[in-house]
């Protein structure tokens, strides 16, 4: 049975609603997932921000303040207008429909750029950083070109028929052969040759953000895929990406537990964002729709797998299990 918490009453669970201010549902949803990422809030709390205390344009400073307010004990909605106006001053405009993954990446990038403590800024980025190595192998001479880079979210292509998260991940890391018009230049051969392109995981982050690419563009028109994508509450990535780890991958623990789901309802041109987040202490799931907070079951979270006329999961936040950091793979009913 669900329990509904009125907007102006903050229950013991530690969640506070956020009013929808000038089409802010996208940002509200991301703030709920950031608040549930206690590692991020803890790192921001360590930041002294001595030189930017009065800077209304400094996004990590405003993020620090709003996350602290969301963790507070006051019995009203958390104040977040200053954060929204800060986003607006950084070209993430108010009164505008936004893509949640793009705003998420922008917030992380602005945090990296605008913090005066680069050690802490790097630690925040490392929370989400998926280090990868891209390789391009000539299919004629066998020579290999490599490039190391990183992702802050894992963008997964989905098909127009039922998908599983595990299959989407496997497909993302499958090598592709590039032939004919797609041939690539081989420095060894001195000309374009058929090639094999692939990607290997070099290291995994504490927080694994998965972006389900539900929006497509066809001849200048954007449409949304409402098809089914199932995802588990917990998984071991070493059992899914058996062929996708690089030779220098050295992590022993690849087990992750879901703690946040960003949900999109509606069409590509007009929609609404909400979130499901899992409480750190009691392990229960809660639904956040702007100012309204509601306890739900895992069965309710699974309704975001997809289907016509329902909200669909758009971003998934997984946390790597770690015994020394007190994480246990416990589940609510």
What per-residue confidence (pLDDT) applies to 324? 40
CA 93/CA 144 separation, integer angstroms: 44
Residue 232 pLDDT > 50: yes
What is the pLDDT at residue 331?
Answer: 38
Of 268, 259, 266, 272, the C-alpha closest to 213 is 268
Element housing 35 (H / E): helix 25-36
Q: Name the catalytic one among 85, 272, 284, 292.
A: 272
Output DSSP code: residue 245.
B
Model confidence at 13: pLDDT above 70: no
pLDDT higher at 308 or 32: 32
The residue annotated as part of the active site, out of 25, 138, 186, 254, is 25
- Residue 72's pLDDT is 77
Residue 107: exposed, middle, or buried by beta-carbon count in 10 A (0-12, 13-18, 19+)?
buried
Which of 48-62, 117-131, 277-291, 303-317 has the weakest average pLDDT?
Answer: 48-62
Residue 88 has a pLDDT of 96
- Per-residue pLDDT tens over the stretch 177-204: 999 999 999 999 999 999 999 999 999 9
Mean pLDDT of 69-84: 83
157 catalytically annotated: no
275: β partners: 262, 288
What sign does the CA torsion over 137, 140, 143, 145 have?
negative
SS3 170: helix
**E strand or H helix at 207, and its extent?**
strand 207-213
Quote the pLDDT of residue 159: 87
- Per the annotation, the verdict on 25 as an active-site residue is yes
139-187 pLDDT, tens digit per residue, is: 999 999 999 999 999 999 998 888 999 999 999 999 999 999 999 999 9
Q: Which of 212, 222, 105 is nearest to 157 (CA)?
A: 212
Mean pLDDT computed over every residue of the chain: 89
Point out the least confidently predicted range of 64-73, 96-105, 127-136, 224-233: 64-73
Residue 74 has pLDDT above 70, yes or no: no
Given a cut of 80, whether residue 76 has pLDDT beyond it is: no
With a cut of 80, say whether residue 263 has pLDDT above it.
yes
Q: Tell me the pLDDT tens digit for each residue of 36-54.
A: 999 999 999 999 876 666 6
Per-residue pLDDT, 126: 97
pLDDT of residue 160: 81
The number of residues in the chain equals: 333
pLDDT at 1: 36
Reported as a pLDDT band with limits 50, 70 and 90, residue 329 is: very low
Give the sheet arrangement for strand 176-178, strand by strand: 144-151, 130-138, 195-203, 176-178
The band of 287, judged by pLDDT with boundaries at 50, 70 and 90, is very high
pLDDT, residue 288, reads 96
- Percent above pLDDT 70 for the chain: 90
Location of structure tokens 């229950």: 11
Residue predicted with more confidence, 161 or 315 = 315
Task: Give all domains of the chain, ordered by start, each with its CATH number.
Answer: 3-325 (3.90.70.10)
Q: Which two tokens stand for residue 68?
A: 């602290």
């Amino acid at each position: 049975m669900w329990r509904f918490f009125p907007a102006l009453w903050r229950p013991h669970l530690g969640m506070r609603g956020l009013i929808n201010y000038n089409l802010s549902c996208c940002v509200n949803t991301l703030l709920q997932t950031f608040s549930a990422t206690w590692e991020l809030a803890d790192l921001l709390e360590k930041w002294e921000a001595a030189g930017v205390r009065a800077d209304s344009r400094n996004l990590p400073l405003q993020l620090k303040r709003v996350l602290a307010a969301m963790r507070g004990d006051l019995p009203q909605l958390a104040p977040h207008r200053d954060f929204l106006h800060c986003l607006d001053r950084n070209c993430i405009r108010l009164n505008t429909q936004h893509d949640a993954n793009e705003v998420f990446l922008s917030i992380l990038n602005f945090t990296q750029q605008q913090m005066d403590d680069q050690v802490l800024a790097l630690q925040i980025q490392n929370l989400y950083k998926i280090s990868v190595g891209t390789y391009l192998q000539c299919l004629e001479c066998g020579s290999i070109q490599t490039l190391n880079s990183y992702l802050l979210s894992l963008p997964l292509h989905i098909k127009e028929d039922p998908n599983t998260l595990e299959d989407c991940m496997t497909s993302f890391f499958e090598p592709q052969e590039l032939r004919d018009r797609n041939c690539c230049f081989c420095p060894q051969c001195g000309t374009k040759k058929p090639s094999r392109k692939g990607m290997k995981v070099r290291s995994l982050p504490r927080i694994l953000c998965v972006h389900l690419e539900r929006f497509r563009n066809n001849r200048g028109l954007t449409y949304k895929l409402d098809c089914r994508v199932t995802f588990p509450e917990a998984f071991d990535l070493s059992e899914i990406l058996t062929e996708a780890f690089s030779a220098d991958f050295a992590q022993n623990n690849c087990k992750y537990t879901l703690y946040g789901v960003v949900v999109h309802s509606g069409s590509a041109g007009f929609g609404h964002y909400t979130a499901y987040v899992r409480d750190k202490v009691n392990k229960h799931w809660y639904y956040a729709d702007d100012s309204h907070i509601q306890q739900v079951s895992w069965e309710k979270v699974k309704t975001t797998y997809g289907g016509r006329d329902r909200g669909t999961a758009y971003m998934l936040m997984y946390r790597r299990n770690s015994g020394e950091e007190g994480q246990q793979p416990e589940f609510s009913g």
